[in-house]
């Protein structure tokens, strides 16, 4: 099957689906996929801003396969055209080959080599942190209770991962001369620094928490911008930060803690700009039960079970909607988003064979 997989992967890589700039349309790569799925009922929906979804259905399957087709922009470190697939003795190199067009090529190859019932959802907005495609699908009368979401997991079933939240803060101060006695408290930059110190101390204190092999709370202050010059008290300061909680941690409770670290009257706005639930999603008290349900599904599908991961995936959105969700795909996350991104040929073969076997299990 590998020759067929690489044929599809070369075609998929050749389509420019970089995200941003969010200019992906309902033709191009989606026309190609439609042509490779004879015998499937295909429905393409354009949700705007480069968010296009293709749902393909054959028969009456019990579970859904999901994969995204958009990629991150290529970096200056690429040594050749990122949209031309290069194949060596053991790897396929191209933009999105690992994350995650390799899996999409395998789905097409498996569909063509089987006759069983199957359902695929291809989307193009995962890298935009927008999730219009999955959200719209979940609001439809889809009828699925199980989903396998393709991301680079080295062909192991991942049952749990962190959630994610991004936040924009604005601290307010009062402009004035830096020699003033009250400059220490009036500066918005000073307020932001005090907030950052308390936030970092809090995160270090969360290091003891555990869930499914994951440890502690991930946190990052990504950008601080404010002030005018050294002798002017900063009237405002913007801070962008993000955190990645364990499935057993309450995101809203964490927001309340981070917001409380600001001094009285210092914080002008606290705005969450993106949220992705953890996997499994839902009530914190039932997270372990839902993880065990996913383990039972992995066992039933004869999938090797891997460790929980720190990166976020759209599997959590399916889980939040009540589906039993597993992250399962070829490639290693270490190669994702890198220059000369690659996926091992053996991983492609293993994943395609697993998909074909799972399709054959459908009634």
Q: Which residues have a catalytic role annotated?
A: 126
Pick the closest to residue 254 from 279, 227, 277 (CA basis): 277
Length of the chain: 363
**Distance, CA of 278 to CA of 65 (rounded, Å):** 19
Contact predicate 224/238, CB 8 Å: yes
Name residues whose C-beta falls within 8 Å of residue 141's C-beta, 6 or more positions apart in sequence.
none
Q: What is the CA radius of gyration of the chain?
A: 23
Q: Is 190 exposed, middle or buried (0-12, 13-18, 19+ CB in 10 A)?
A: buried
Alpha helices per DSSP H over the chain: 2-14, 29-35, 102-112, 132-139, 183-186, 188-205, 251-260, 287-300, 315-320, 345-361
Residue with tokens 């690429």: 78
- Residue 341 backbone zone (phi > 0: left; psi -120 to 50: alpha; other: beta): beta
Contact predicate 67/118, CB 8 Å: no
């Amino acid at each position: 099957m590998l020759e067929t997989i690489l044929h599809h992967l070369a075609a998929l890589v050749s389509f420019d689906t970089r995200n941003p700039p969010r200019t992906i349309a309902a033709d191009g790569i989606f026309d190609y996929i439609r042509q490779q799925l004879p015998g499937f009922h295909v429905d393409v929906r354009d949700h705007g801003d480069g968010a296009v979804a293709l749902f393909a259905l054959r028969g009456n399957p019990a579970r859904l396969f999901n994969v995204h087709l958009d990629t991150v922009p290529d970096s200056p470190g690429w040594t050749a055209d990122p949209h031309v697939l290069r194949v060596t003795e053991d790897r396929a190199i191209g933009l999105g080959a690992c994350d995650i067009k390799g899996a999409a090529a395998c789905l097409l190859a498996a569909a063509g080599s089987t006759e069983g019932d199957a359902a695929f959802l291809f989307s193009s907005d995962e890298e935009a942190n927008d999730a219009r495609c999955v959200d719209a699908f979940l609001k439809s009368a889809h009828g699925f209770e199980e989903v396998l979401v393709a991301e680079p997991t080295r062909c192991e079933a991942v049952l749990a991962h962190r959630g994610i939240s991004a936040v924009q803060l604005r601290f307010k101060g009062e402009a004035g001369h830096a020699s003033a006695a009250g400059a220490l408290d009036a500066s918005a930059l000073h307020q932001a620094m005090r907030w950052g110190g308390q936030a970092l101390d809090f995160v270090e204190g969360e290091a003891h928490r555990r869930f499914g092999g994951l440890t502690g709370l991930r946190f990052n202050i990504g950008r601080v911008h404010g002030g005018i010059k050294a002798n002017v008290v900063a009237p405002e300061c913007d801070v962008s930060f993000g955190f990645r909680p364990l499935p057993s941690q309450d995101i809203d409770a964490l927001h309340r803690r981070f917001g409380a670290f600001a001094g009285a009257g210092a914080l002008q706005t606290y705005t969450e700009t993106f949220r992705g639930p953890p996997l499994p999603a839902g009530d914190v008290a039932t997270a372990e039960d839902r993880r065990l349900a996913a383990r039972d599904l992995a066992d039933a599908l004869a999938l090797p079970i891997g460790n929980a991961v720190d990166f976020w995936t759209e599997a959590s959105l399916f889980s939040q909607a009540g589906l039993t969700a597993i992250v399962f795909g070829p490639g290693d996350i270490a190669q994702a988003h890198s220059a000369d991104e690659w996926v091992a040929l053996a991983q492609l073969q293993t994943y395609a064979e697993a998909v074909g076997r799972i399709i054959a299990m459908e009634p």
